[in-house]
Amino acid sequence: MPDIGGLQVVIATRSGRIRRLLQGVLRRLPQRDRLAIEAFVGWVRCEREWKTYALGGMLDRRAAALLPRAPTARGAERQAELVLYLPVCRLFSDKALTGIVAHGLAHAVRAVSLGEGWWRLLGDRWKQEERKADLLAMRWGFAPELHASAQEQVRVVLPRIEESERHIVTSIARRISSRS
Predicted confidence (pLDDT) per residue in 62-112, tens digit: 999 999 987 665 554 578 999 999 999 999 999 999 999 999 999 999 999
Name the band, by pLDDT with cuts 50, 70 and 90, for residue 2.
very low
CATH number where 122 lies = 3.40.390
8 Å CB contact between 60 and 50 = yes
Q: How far apart are the first and last CA of the chain?
A: 34
Distance CA 96, CA 112 (A): 25
Q: What domain count does the chain have?
A: 1
Q: In sequence order, which residues have a C-beta less than 8 Å from that of residue 108 and are 6 or more positions away?
A: 36, 37, 40, 41, 66, 80, 82
In percent, the amount of the chain with pLDDT more than 90 equals: 67
**Average pLDDT of the chain?**
89
Distance CA 45, CA 96 (A): 19
Classify the C-alpha dihedral 48-17-2-149 as positive or negative: negative
Which of 120, 48, 130 lies closest to 84 in space, CA to CA? 48
For the entire predicted model, the pTM comes to 0.89
Domain range enclosing 66: 3-179
Query: For 91-105, how does the pLDDT look when each residue is reduced to its tens digit (9 = 90+)?
Result: 999 999 999 999 999
Residue 6 pLDDT more than 80?
no
